Amino acid sequence: MATGSALLRAIARRLGQALATAALLASLCFTAIHALPGDLALRVAAARVGDERLTPETADRIRREEGLDRPLPLQYSAWMLGLARGELGRSLLSGRPVAEELAYHAGFTLQLGLLGWALSYAIAVPLGLLAGLRPGGAADRVADAISLTLASLPSFMTGIGLVTLFALTLRLLPPAGFRTGAHMVLPALTLALSLAAFSIPVMRNAVMEVRAAFFLTFARLKGLGPAAAFWHHGLRNAAIPVVTFAALQFAFVVDGFVVIETLFNYPGLGDLLVKALIARDVPVVMGAALLIGFAFAAVNLAADLLCLALDPRRRTGAAP
């Protein structure tokens, strides 16, 4: 019964956060885009027909067709009413439904994100474990140097370095675009290295904290060796802060997608968002904000459920 209550509370809390976060993000995007200087209809018209064919008549026609001549409160209210009916509107640039645009580009981002996330923990977990099991040793110093080096480099500098090495010098991988699976390697590796820079010290500190815990000392007093005691009694406890941190990293992932997908000309959500912001495509920007808000809440819900599975005290309501 307690387990079901904890599960329901976690789901209800995250759903409430999802609704609030998504509504706030969409409202802020709407306000920010309309606060930018310049004529919104003129920018949309330029994106549609090009600067050479742009005329004041074209801008006026688009302003009337898309309802951009209405007061801003009416435009916002119309969008919210459409959202209540499950409609995100149509792109001002392509005329396609926003939901279709988001679904197409989000699929590419999901593939890249999952691959980059998996690669980051394939790097961070062994390095963090070795560093935490032998603090002050050679593995700890190497892991600290790797983490510090990666953390000091912006993701676009890491990406440029990888392109220079693997695409331009060694000619092993394509530098940009997306046609085959090989095009995902460099952006995924860029994302993975950026994430691993912060995952390594979190993993190391979690392992060190668990190794110093009394329950692990008690397990060794019962006759278990250091490796067996940590494997049976320490690993799950060390995983809890790592799982929580992995969910928090999603904020960085969203930030990194915009930079990485633009750098590698990868047709994901970040690339779509940048182009929509340049063209002032308000429905696409607001739809992307909604999607990011719900995705953030979904990742946090998954982390909560995984922590419930790892720590029985959370399921029974006892203090962790």
In the predicted structure, residue 309 carries a pLDDT above the cut 60 = yes
Q: Using one digit for the tens of pLDDT, what is the confidence trace for 279-307?
A: 888 899 888 888 887 777 777 777 777 76
User: For residue 281, what are the contacts with CB-CB under 8 A and spacing of at least 6?
Assistant: 44, 47, 91, 92, 93, 275
Residue with tokens 């197409």: 104
- The predicted-structure confidence for 148-194, as pLDDT tens digits, reads as follows 998 888 888 999 999 999 999 999 999 888 888 899 999 999 999 98
Enter the DSSP assignment of 179.
S
Structure tokens at 12: 């209800």
pLDDT at 142 over 70: yes
How high is the pLDDT of residue 82? 85
**Domains of the chain, start order:** 14-84 (no CATH), 102-279 (1.10.3720.10)
Report the range of poorest mean pLDDT among 230-234, 247-251, 266-270: 230-234
Beta-ladder partners of 90: 97
Average pLDDT, the chain: 80
d(CA 270, CA 291): 12
* CA dihedral angle for residue 298, residue 90, residue 184, residue 257, rounded to 10 degrees: -60
- The answer to whether 106 and 253 have CB atoms below 8 angstroms apart is no
Task: Say which residue, 66 or 233, is predicted with more confidence.
Answer: 66
Q: List the Cα angle 286/103/81 in 5-degree steps.
A: 40
* Greater model confidence, 245 or 180: 180
Say if residue 112's pLDDT is above 70. Answer: yes
Supply the pTM of this predicted model: 0.77
The distance of Cα 49 from the centroid of its chain, to the nearest Å, equals 33
The per-residue pLDDT for range 117-126, each reduced to its tens digit, is: 889 889 988 8
pLDDT band with cut points at 50, 70 and 90 for residue 313: low
pLDDT at residue 319, rounded to an integer: 45
Three-state SS at 212: coil
Residue 6, pLDDT score: 62
Helix (H, G, I), strand (E, B) or coil at 315: helix
pLDDT in tens, 225-241: 666 656 555 555 666 66
Which pLDDT score is estimated for 133? 80
232-254: average pLDDT? 64
Helices 235-263 and 269-279 cross at an angle (nearest 10°) of 40
Q: How far is it, in rounded angstroms, from Cα 91 to Cα 80?
A: 16
